[in-house]
Chains A and B, each alone.
Chain A
Amino acid sequence: MTDTEQRLAAIRGDAPPKRHNARTIAALTGNPGCTRRAVLDGAGVDKPALAERVGFPARFGQSRFAITRGNMFEAQVKADGGAELLRLVAERLGVPVPAAVRWTDLDAGDDLATRARRSAALLTEALSSVESDTADPPGADEPPRVDEPAALFDHPMLGLTVAGQRVHLEPDLVAARLGGRFHVVEIKSFPVIDGQADPAKLAGAAVQSAVYVLALRELLTARGHDPQLVSHEVVLVCPRDFSNAPVAHLLDVRRQLLVVRRQLDRMDRLDTLLAGVPADFTADPAADPAALADSLARVPARYAPDCLASCELAYLCRHEAQGQTGALGRPVREALGGIADVAEVLALAGGETATDPERAEAAALLRTAARLRADALASA
């Protein structure tokens, strides 16, 4: 165990680290500047339990109806050994629909590491023979190809390194090898109506898919293959309009790949972040709530209203950020000349002179704003 790992274990407490899935990794990209979140996620702290313990429980319930619908749609799309899914994906990619498809369900077995090994072996099985046969390396602008029959791999167990730890991703995808390349296929049950989906859900799906693309690429690299065999174009399969009929769309996730990559790299340098964290910092949900709250307060968070939708600790951080202009949203803070504290904003607006010369301009703006506001309210 390295020093960092020891520290992270101490922060986490007795429990084993919380497992990540594509959703939690995707959520890491939400607020990259937040140290508290990076440390807690890096340590694999049980954040929902922690939030509950300090008195600010998260509210991330999921409705049974949504879960049922999601499972039903997924089962429907994958029915008949994936024949329908293959047709959809092939048509969307513009390649001829293969007559036969090999469907490999990698969901069997319970040991994660065994499953991951099996997934890796089967996914790359076809590649090894092909690449040794290829005499000419593929051109620079020509993506590499595999001339193997089409194949669909359901629930491949993939892995990623998050904060120095190997994380197995809860597999919720199909990897399609079609037209010579791998494509991540995500089946989502939100509708695409007249070619448009809910932007928030679409954005979430794109980041999640990017995590899978990244993991699949790492897997190929680790086995000595070209990572570019995994396309950056993800196939999203959703119900069309108000029906249950599936429709496939392509999603370019290059930007999301960069974002996820960057955040994972940042978490790899956790020891630098940890250097600024007090030595006795603990986030063990079993600890005394008052001590926990004190401890958490010593690792700075960077609360923004968006956190409410993605981080379990958001309600605690919001509570701490009371009286800060950032808690009202970054645009509000910027409009107030970047001044962080509401009390200071109002003091400057009331005519107090700024102690910091860099704030003179903001102070003048706020003073004028206050005068104009009072003037308009009086004249109305």
Chain B
Amino acid sequence: MSTLRALAAAQAVATGVAQPVATVRHLHLSRRPLVLVPLSMAGEANAPLAAMVGSAPGEGRLLIVPQPRNRDQRFAFAAELAAVVLPYVDAHRTANEAVAVDRGRDVRYRYLDAPQLLVPNPAGVTFLRLLGRSTRFRRVDGEYPVPPQVPLLGRWLTFFAERAEHPGSSALVAMTQALTLHWATGQSAVEDLHLPALLGWIAPSAGLSGAEAAARAEDPSLCPPAGPATDPEFDNRLLAPAIEAYSAADDEATRVEAYAELERLLRDQLTPTWELMWRGLGLLRALPPGARVAGRWDGDRDAFTAHADHLDSDGAPQPRRDGAVAAAARLHRLERAAATYAVQRAYDDPLVMAEYRLTGEAFVGEVLLADPTRVDDSGRRPVLRPRIQLMTTDPVLVPVGATLSSPSRPGQKARTVFVTPTADGKTEVVLELSGGMGRGLTASPGSVPEVGERLCYTTLSDAYVPAAAFPAVEETPWTHGGPPATAAAAPDEEWA
């Protein structure tokens, strides 16, 4: 929790409405995202109960499982869900583009767009991960055959759930997380997980304060929970009798009637959340995207293309657990992504950068002096090393000799030469610039900051960091258990 975010939360308490903590949108939003609101049955291991799914507000399709403990019905649900998700995913595989790799010596292709799934909260992401886990190993033949689209759905859901762990990815987004990335409410992080309350703070209905709207949203009889867990009161009072009525139905007419009643009940539980999802989406769409959002979406498109190609070639399901090498590589990938994401958000958004200014890792100052023609000839070859002097009111905790960069000039490095506190509480910083000024000993026009410019310099760098090398799987060191035995086929689980 940064002090700036905490201060925004305090302001939210005082003003009664959520306060912005971002000035730009830090995630990509698809023109046609697939919104998915799942419900699961209490007590069971991720047994689907119902879902509302669709890619436009008026196109929400309700899927229900009339007897969630019934294994065949679970897979019928998965097949129905696959009939919505798989065509949606495939619709993004129409056009691709060539991307130069290996310094232009080769090209690879990636799809021009990628699918995007939106769920209400992190528990929704977990639901999809577990649904993917329970379906991706299913067999289309043998003792308990399932329709062929079920294991395929499992592999896609697993793909999305893994992307959701990847910092900065927008392939599978939990709405509560997307919203709290941009607004601070006057309630705690635990309470922010409740989508209706969160939206109550951000956009309270007319005549209500955020706190009042959030308090109202906490009453499950007024505002059903955003899932996947259902309200126990609803379970006991309405759902259980309806499921019993369906199971007890002994003729077609009664069964149809009981099914319709279940559908009505579950639709009533899902519709409010469905509408909130689109409202949340509307709020996020109103923010301008950050400059580096598109670049991160390219990463999602790359991952989507790679997974689609994988499914086209052999399509083996993702393993239950990563081996040692795969796990280390994944952790490394996630750490790099987290570091890059943090830097990019700060570069894109002055309000995020302000957090680093507060901790002394960045400062904003006005250029007082500039020497754009300064040449350092102490080395073997003379080099262009202009110097600038800035004056800032921010706390500067940057040591002399540190390399800084500026979000507005990411290709240029700045070495700290002097840091001098002045009598009036300000700080004078002298920086020596290198790079991004063209060739030769004369800086190309505009490449050196001019006197009077206001600039931000920070220790955060969005320069490319090469990935570490990992051994091949068959060379797993003994410290990590040695090379794994050739993986046996995933065992088929017992289903009760």
Contacts and interface: CB of A to CB of B under 8 A. Distances in A.
A241 B357 contact: no
Contacts of A243: 493-496
A68 interface: yes
For B6, B191, B230, which residue has the most chain A Cβ atoms within 10 angstroms? B6
Contact of A63 (B24, B186, B236, B393): B236
A343 interface: yes
Name A's interface SS. Answer: helix
Given A193-B130, A193-B133, A244-B496, A342 B4 contact: no
Contact of B41 (A62, A65, A67, A346): A65
A326 to B, nearest CB: 9
Contacts of B9: 328, 332
Contacts of A69: 42-44
Nearest to B20: A377
Given A332-B188, A373-B354, A325 B232 contact: no
B42 A65 contact: yes
B10 A325 contact: yes
A308 B190 contact: yes
Contacts of B364: 375
Interface in B439-496: 493-496
A231 B39 CA distance: 40
A259 to B, nearest CB: 21
Interface in B3-56: 3-11, 13-14, 20, 23-24, 41-46
Contacts of B130: 193
Given A61-B233, A241-B493, A377-B351, A335 B5 contact: yes
Interface string B155-194: 0000000000000000000000000000000111111000
B395 A65 contact: no
Interface stretch (A10-18, A37-45, A142-150, A363-371): A363-371
Interface in A325-380: 325, 327-329, 331-337, 342-343, 345-346, 349, 365-366, 368-373, 375-377, 379-380
B240 interface: yes
Interface residues of B, number: 57
Contacts of A342: 10, 13-14
Contacts of B357: 372
B1 A332 contact: yes
B190 A373 contact: no
Contacts, number: 154
A67 B43 contact: yes
Contacts of B191: 305, 308
A61 B231 contact: yes
A375 B43 contact: no
A369 B4 contact: yes
B45 A345 contact: no
A242 B46 contact: yes
Contacts of A190: 45
Contacts of A66: 42-43, 232
Contacts of A369: 3-4, 7, 358
Given A61-B233, A335-B5, A68 B350 contact: no
Contact of A62 (B20, B134, B232, B394): B232
B2 to A, nearest CB: 6
A194 B321 contact: yes
B14 A65 contact: no
A331 B6 CA distance: 8
B43 A365 contact: no
A194 to B, nearest CB: 5
Given A64-B235, A368-B358, A245 B494 contact: yes
Interface in B410-430: none
Contacts of A194: 133, 320-321
A176 B190 CA distance: 38
Contacts of A349: 7, 10
B123 to A, nearest CB: 10
Contacts of A346: 10-11, 14
On chain A, which size bracket covers the interface?
Answer: 35 or more
Contacts of B349: 380
Nearest to A378: B350
A367 to B, nearest CB: 10
Contacts of A323: 13
B211 to A, nearest CB: 8
A242 B42 contact: no
B220 interface: yes
A30 interface: no
A342 B349 CA distance: 26
A329 B190 contact: yes
Contact of A365 (B3, B133, B220, B230): B3
A376 B10 contact: no
A345 B235 contact: no
A189 interface: yes
A84 to B, nearest CB: 14
A32 interface: no
A70 interface: yes
Interface in B210-237: 211, 220, 230-233, 235-236
A189 B43 contact: yes
Contact of A345 (B7, B23, B354): B7
Contacts of B494: 243-245
Interface in A22-64: 59, 61-64
Contacts of A325: 6, 10
A64 B236 contact: yes
Contact of B23 (A242, A308, A328, A380): A380
B350 A63 contact: no
A329 B42 contact: no
13 contacts: A61-B236, A63-B42, A63-B235, A69-B43, A70-B43, A244-B494, A305-B190, A322-B211, A329-B189, A342-B13, A346-B14, A372-B354, A373-B354
Interface of A: 59, 61-70, 189-191, 193-195, 239, 241-245, 305-306, 308-309, 322-323, 325, 327-329, 331-337, 342-343, 345-346, 349, 365-366, 368-373, 375-377, 379-380
Given A241-B45, A242-B45, 14 more contacts: A63-B232, A65-B43, A245-B496, A308-B190, A322-B13, A327-B187, A336-B3, A337-B3, A369-B7, A372-B357, A373-B354, A376-B23, A376-B350, A380-B350
Nearest 5 interchain pairs by C-beta: A61-B232, A66-B43, A380-B23, A305-B188, A63-B42
